[in-house]
Chains A and B, each alone.
Chain A
Amino acid sequence: MLYLELFLQGLLQGSIYALIAVGLTLVYGLLRILHVAHAGLYTLGGYFGVLVYNSSGSLMLSGVVAMFGVGILGVIIYRLCYEAILDQPPFVPLIASIGLFIAMEELYRILFGSYGISYANPPLQQMLPLGGMYLREGEWVTILVSIILIGGLAWLSSHTRLGLAWRATVTDPQMAESFGIDPIRVRYFNFFIGSALAGTAGMIVGILNNLVEPTMGSVPSYKALAIIVLGGLGSVRGTLVAALALGVVESFGTIYLGNVLNRDAIAFVFLILVLMVRPQGMFRGI
């Protein structure tokens, strides 16, 4: 039973990682940018969630704001920050993005205080037994939301014109353009979807921890990078598997290696080991 519980906890953590990392891998697949500031948007999702909920009391409304507000902000970040430096060597957007992320975190600290904000009436905290497993409502919701959003994304990309345009642009931007696809709109769409997922993940984690603090994105940001690298950089499927795998590895690792390494170090030991064996990550391609 302990194993099963550890495994489920790992999957839960993994599905949160997946929500964050999918956006990151979408951006990388399209633009070859390691978009570290993505985690800043994740944190913002947490703030939108808690602030709107505390003032309106509607979980639905705060979810919508976290998703769409952060999505739109993601597009704005692309427009203002990345568009002009796409043709620079890769370290330029990477470092710009790290700078942006640090500045965002500091801005949250200055605006909302360094101690964080909690939900006034914490929602979704009831224990809910299902199939013999005891998880909180929020945790079940997390798993459900991850499946719905990522499943929806998969459906979108394989069953709609927009998805087709998107896949074509990722494969070969010039080819896509000659089919009349506007690459700029695809990029906006890309940033919108990716950021909206991150915003949702931020809100979910805010609810689960009942705390939103300025630095809540720090660890996920770097871990999400590790995940997309593990997944083969740019491969959505690889990213999903890597996210879940990392969640499970961490979950078991903290039990069995906890006195040698902390949780974050385990993630990166795993990353470095995998990269040494497979320098291109676990998966290649889309």
Chain B
Amino acid sequence: MGYEISLLTFMGISIIGSLSLNLITGFCGQVSLGHVAFVGIGAYTASILTKADTPFFVALLAGMLLAGSFGVMVGLASLRVRHDFLAITTMGVNFVFLGVVRQQEWLGGELGVSSIPDPGLGKLGFLALVLGCVILVALLSLQIRRSWMGYVFEAVSGDEDTARMLGLDVSRYKLIAFALGTALAGLSGGLYAHHVRFIFPDSFAFVESITLLAMVVIGGNGSILGVIVASALLSVLPQWFQFIGDYKLLLYGSLLFIVMRFSPGGLAGLAKNIFPKSKKAFALKGNQ
């Protein structure tokens, strides 16, 4: 039972992480290859604060705020560089984050932060908290997509210059996408740190950014349901089937490649092709 609870908690944290990336990359069209850096900022902030006896929820919030603030900085960068340049810049952000964290004594260096305090909610209570957050983040995503903000995001993702010609403050909208997406990444980081109670730099290596991106694009860039399904599957499959464990990366890599090569719309695109009527539930972008 304990194992299943732990697995579900991990799944929920992954879903929050990938939905947060989906806001930036799926909705607003800004490909980020370094999203896990913000998960890391949330995780480090929250765990260092709770180790200094800050209440858990305050620490969680602080992690979100700090991650969001750094996110706005990267958002500012996204105003200067576009497309492929932006993708590489965000990738750089991930490496810089790791480079800094590895060398800082007070962040534990290579050894990371261990014996992070138990938030005191019990295993089930913590799972409930995580699932509650998943629901909130999913609702937020839905609200954004059906609101005018989502409409503008769609335009920005399609053609920024034309969006400006329609009087849309593209820069502000992009910053909002980055602020929200990275703050929620910080949330998933804070939750992650207090779930495993031990973090180190490699928990936030570049390949983890790719894992998050894999969840988003395999689910279908921009599709909320698709992303949830993909993250649930990809986070849990390797743990369930131990024999996959060793080949986890081979599986991720191949899946990423195969999905992009044969169904660039991801699971959502696939579902749309099989059941054309379900278009609304899987509402999808990046694919005609």
Q: What's the least CB distance linking B202 to chain A, in Å?
A: 13
Residues from chain A with Cβ under 8 Å of B249 in the complex? 102-103, 105-106
Contact A90 B83 (CB under 8 A): yes
Indicate the member of A91, A94, A105, A275 with the most B CB atoms within 10 Å: A91
**Set B31, B82, B103: member contacting A94, Cβ < 8 A:** B31
Mark each residue of chain A from 257 to 277: 1 if its CB lies under 8 Å from any CB of chain B, else 0: 001111011111101100110
Contact B99 A261 (CB under 8 A): yes
* Known contacts A99-B252, A233-B84, A233-B85, A264 near B103 by CB under 8 Å: no
A32 to B98, CA, bound (A): 29
A283 to B99, CA, bound (A): 27
Interface check B206, CB cutoff 8 A = yes
Interface residue ranges of A99-141 to B (CB < 8 Å): 99-107, 110
Indicate the member of B77, B91, B258 with the most A CB atoms within 10 Å: B91
Q: What's the least CB distance linking B31 to chain A, in Å?
A: 5
Contact B260 A102 (CB under 8 A): no
Mark each residue of chain B from 187 to 230: 1 if its CB lies under 8 Å from any CB of chain A, else 0: 00000000000000000001100100110010001000000000
Interface check B70, CB cutoff 8 A = no
Interface check B272, CB cutoff 8 A = no
Interface check A212, CB cutoff 8 A = no
Interface check B87, CB cutoff 8 A = yes
Indicate the member of A93, A98, A269 with the most B CB atoms within 10 Å: A98
Nearest to B250 among chain A residues (CB) is A106
Interface check B286, CB cutoff 8 A = yes
Nearest to B206 among chain A residues (CB) is A222
Nearest to B157 among chain A residues (CB) is A89
Q: What's the least CB distance linking B259 to chain A, in Å?
A: 8
Between A and B, 22 residue pairs with Cβ closer than 8 Å are A28-B84, A81-B257, A85-B264, A90-B31, A90-B84, A92-B286, A95-B214, A95-B260, A99-B256, A99-B260, A102-B253, A102-B256, A105-B249, A105-B253, A110-B250, A233-B84, A261-B99, A264-B98, A268-B99, A272-B96, A276-B80, A281-B85
Contact A265 B260 (CB under 8 A): no
Indicate the member of A99, A105, A222, A225 with the most B CB atoms within 10 Å: A99
* Known contacts A106-B249, A262-B99, A95 near B80 by CB under 8 Å: no
**Set B84, B85, B95, B255: member contacting A264, Cβ < 8 A:** B95
Nearest to A106 among chain B residues (CB) is B250
Q: What's the least CB distance linking A96 to chain B, in Å?
A: 4
Residues from chain A with Cβ under 8 Å of B36 in the complex? none
Residues from chain A with Cβ under 8 Å of B96 in the complex? 261, 265, 268-269, 272
A102 to B250, CA, bound (A): 7
Residues from chain A with Cβ under 8 Å of B88 in the complex? 34, 225-226, 229, 271
Q: Which residues of A contact B (CB under 8 A)?
A: 28, 32, 34, 81, 84-85, 88-107, 110, 222, 225-226, 229, 233, 259-262, 264-269, 271-272, 275-276, 279-281
* Known contacts A222-B95, A262-B103, A272-B77, A85 near B260 by CB under 8 Å: yes
Contact A265 B261 (CB under 8 A): no
Indicate the member of A84, A85, A100 with the most B CB atoms within 10 Å: A100
Mark each residue of chain B from 94 to 108: 1 if its CB lies under 8 Å from any CB of chain A, else 0: 011011101100000
Interface check B92, CB cutoff 8 A = yes
Interface check B89, CB cutoff 8 A = yes
Residues from chain B with Cβ under 8 Å of A280 in the complex? 85
A118 to B85, CA, bound (A): 37
Contact A96 B85 (CB under 8 A): no
